[in-house]
Structure 1
């Protein structure tokens, strides 16, 4: 496909997640400093991509994110509807390709985390992967997972490009001290505090985190902070938390200006996912200079590693408990891990991410990516 000579690029980005996730806002801001004009449009029932074309005209690039938003529904017969909605998506992509639009797809997760219609969704992803010009993932391990899960032939696998997940260092306020944060939350100043932070969805295994923590002795505290996915999830978290005063829950949406209070009060952030490819929650914890407790999955081993937290084998029934114990037993080591994570996060600034993404748009990006700090 021919790339235009003009330095100016127009991009249609879909679906629009900017209200609930700063990822796209930061990426778009970085792209706009590089002569890339981005229009974001939401997914929906009535041909969302063609609707975006009516708003801005034919773009140079269509950039797809979070593909489940196009095909997964809570209505009756989700598997059949996923196939129908997927056919609509494939038709729209084919029409855009016929108009000369380059198609880029960032794979944030292999499938919808709730696995509402996994076989149907996987079939749609197989089809989309073969239509796009480039597939973006956030690390080499994710590239391998995508190629294996979607059974990509070599000609399609050659379209995969690594673009790291940008940090959230300058997105949220971060000027409160740990002592002040703990005072506001009525937490002791001299005990280890581990926190879960984020939208509480079933795959994030928050009740399992609480149960593992309750099996540990000592004075450490566990914070569980976030809005439950639904009433059933909220009930499960409350039931797990019923009989241990060391566990504190805040089951509600946290305003942006209060995120720093919870992050600064903690020593480590625990994110015991049942499945994950890449994680904005991990990047958020690292951006606040916090150690991480998480499974050995997806991009996390390369991003966090043994120097940035305590990672465990998700197949080990005792893995999460042991990782929590190790974190709690060496608070000073958690501080060192947090400092390391902050340095790593700062290296993945949105300026570099946008530059790399623009290269993908123009089909100029090499397959792999190494941040300059990684080569030192």
Structure 2
């Protein structure tokens, strides 16, 4: 707990207190979201000197669900474009190499993976990591290729082994996996939900699909598998988008400006001289 006189800056990295997310939450989570977490979130908002969110979608949810009338500054997530960078040009033959990176939960759309793989057919090869939490188990589903738990410092190398990222998620504040994959030059097949449309330019950097419809994801993957030159162009486009809008430097500058405005004085970064 910080002293009450300390200015409070709140950042919403995601939002799960609304009714839509109840069907994707456990009984304990639903109780927690509807009672103490909602109460404490409202209390924090009343105290906050500044409120930020990682996406326009998340900011809008906070305003609508909590009826928050104050300003919310959107500061998108950023990634290290030096670490997450494209590898060699992907091969033009063989199956399309697709990665699902995240927890194996219904909220992430992991339950759709076996059906997507079945419908996509032999021209698409789907690999998956288990993430920090394997919420629906790790059954080594037929037709899917497990990568196990991959430490974050090994993720840049992993992304460079693939052509596309599959993100059939229900809710994201702003997906770091999505940004990392885009920075690595991957094309994206994702849900048209939450903040995904803020990041993905349809037909330029990826294909968006309706939530919960494995047929749509499979069709999108088959379309990409049939046109590898398009996959290459879309991956290059995604890299350019991240370099221009979603770098660590832009994110840090955004938060630094908020902290300096709240404090009314410059805030030195680590390693800078303190006056």
Aligned residue for 1:256, secondary structure, equals: helix
Task: Report the alpha carbon displacement of residue 317 of structure 1 after superposing the two structures with TM.
Answer: 6.2
- Residues 58-77 of structure 1 correspond to what in structure 2 (within 5 A)? none
> Which of 23, 34, 37 is equivalent to 1:119?
34
What stretches of structure 2 of length at least 5 have no aligned partner? 18-23, 263-275
Report if aligned partners of 1:111, 1:122 keep a CA contact under 8 Å in 2: no
Match of 1:371 in 2: none
1:346 aligns with 2:243: yes
> Which of 104, 118, 135 is equivalent to 2:9?
104
Q: After TM superposition, what 4+ stretches of structure 1 lie above 6 angstroms from structure 2?
A: none
Q: What TM-score does the superposition give when structure 2 sets the normalisation length?
A: 0.79
CA RMSD of aligned residues (A): 2.6
1:163 aligns with 2:163: no
Report if aligned partners of 1:102, 1:361 keep a CA contact under 8 Å in 2: no
Task: Report the alpha carbon displacement of residue 103 of structure 1 after superposing the two structures with TM.
Answer: 0.9
1:132 aligns with 2:48: yes
Task: Report the alpha carbon displacement of residue 219 of structure 1 after superposing the two structures with TM.
Answer: 2.5
Match of 1:288 in 2: 184
Bigger proportion of residues as helix: 1
Match of 1:13 in 2: none
Looking at structure 2, the residues matched to 333 and 303 of structure 1 have their Cα atoms a distance apart, in angstroms, of 18
Q: Name which of structure 1's ranges 320-329 and 211-220 shifts more when overlaid on structure 2.
A: 320-329
Task: Report the alpha carbon displacement of residue 189 of structure 1 after superposing the two structures with TM.
Answer: 5.4
Report if aligned partners of 1:308, 1:341 keep a CA contact under 8 Å in 2: yes
Higher relative contact order (CA 8 A, sep 6+): 2
Show CA shifts across 1:168-223 (max 9, x none): 31245x575366xx9xxxxx953211111234344212231231121123322111
Match of 1:334 in 2: 231
Looking at structure 1, the residues matched to 9 and 219 of structure 2 have their Cα atoms a distance apart, in angstroms, of 41
Aligned residue for 2:63, secondary structure, equals: helix
Bigger Rg, which one = 1
Report if aligned partners of 1:196, 1:271 keep a CA contact under 8 Å in 2: yes
- Residues 237-248 of structure 1 correspond to what in structure 2 (within 5 A)? 237-238=139-140, 241-242=141-142, 244=143, 247-248=144-145
Show CA shifts across 1:32-51 (max 9, x none): xxxxxxxxxxxxxxxxx24x
Show CA shifts across 1:246-269 (max 9, x none): x21122334623x23431121110
Aligned residue for 2:9, secondary structure, equals: strand
Looking at structure 2, the residues matched to 252 and 214 of structure 1 have their Cα atoms a distance apart, in angstroms, of 23
> Which of 49, 66, 82 is equivalent to 1:150?
66
Report if aligned partners of 1:178, 1:264 keep a CA contact under 8 Å in 2: no
Report if aligned partners of 1:277, 1:297 keep a CA contact under 8 Å in 2: no
